[in-house]
Amino acid sequence: MADSEHREAVAAAEPRLRAWGWVFGAREIDDTDTGPPVYTDFEKDWDGQLGLIQAWATKRGYQLSGHEIWSIRQPANALAAFLSQQRIPVLVIPGRAIRDRMRATWECWPQVVTDVTAAGVRIEIAEHDGS
């Protein structure tokens, strides 16, 4: 077996890093006087976000273990614990624009980032150019 074939076989046998996708679902919410809040102005391109996350994971050799779609609701502190418990070291956000919407929408954004990184999870921003 050639040296390069041996390296490829060893790399294929090693477990791949697991990644989790974080999709953003809605940008605005209307509060009503008569019932629960109504989500408006939804982020329509969930398939596009998921596709970008999958392409990012594939290019980097990650095993995409799943995803969550969050909307205007603030993420629970359970996200960091879940990723840690499942041994998922990479959280992928589909692009800077989506990350910026999350940051602008969720007052708890700094705490979520702190909790996730303290759990040993790296947040990566997927980009179309692959960088």
Q: pLDDT tens digits, residue range 65-102?
A: 988 877 656 666 788 999 999 999 999 999 998 898 88
pLDDT surpassing 50 at residue 131: no
pLDDT in tens, 19-57: 999 888 755 555 556 665 555 555 567 788 889 999 999
pLDDT score for 19 = 94
Q: For position 130, what pLDDT does the model report?
A: 46
Under 8 Å between Cβ of 126 and 94: yes
Domain covering 16-125: architecture: 3-Layer(aba) Sandwich (3.40)
pLDDT in the model for residue 67? 86
User: For residue 47, what pLDDT is reported?
Assistant: 80
pLDDT of residue 92: 96
26-45 burial string, b = 16+ CB within 10 Å, else e? Answer: beeeeeeeeeeeeeeeebee
Q: How confident is the model at residue 126 (pLDDT cuts 50, 70, 90)?
A: very high
Structural domain boundaries in the chain:
16-125
Lookup result for tokens 């603030």 = 74
Smallest CA-to-CA distance from 57 within 21, 85, 9 is with 21
- 22 Cα distance to chain centroid: 3
**Residues facing 78 on adjacent strands:** none
| pLDDT-derived band at 62, boundaries 50, 70, 90 | very high
Contact predicate 21/13, CB 8 Å = no
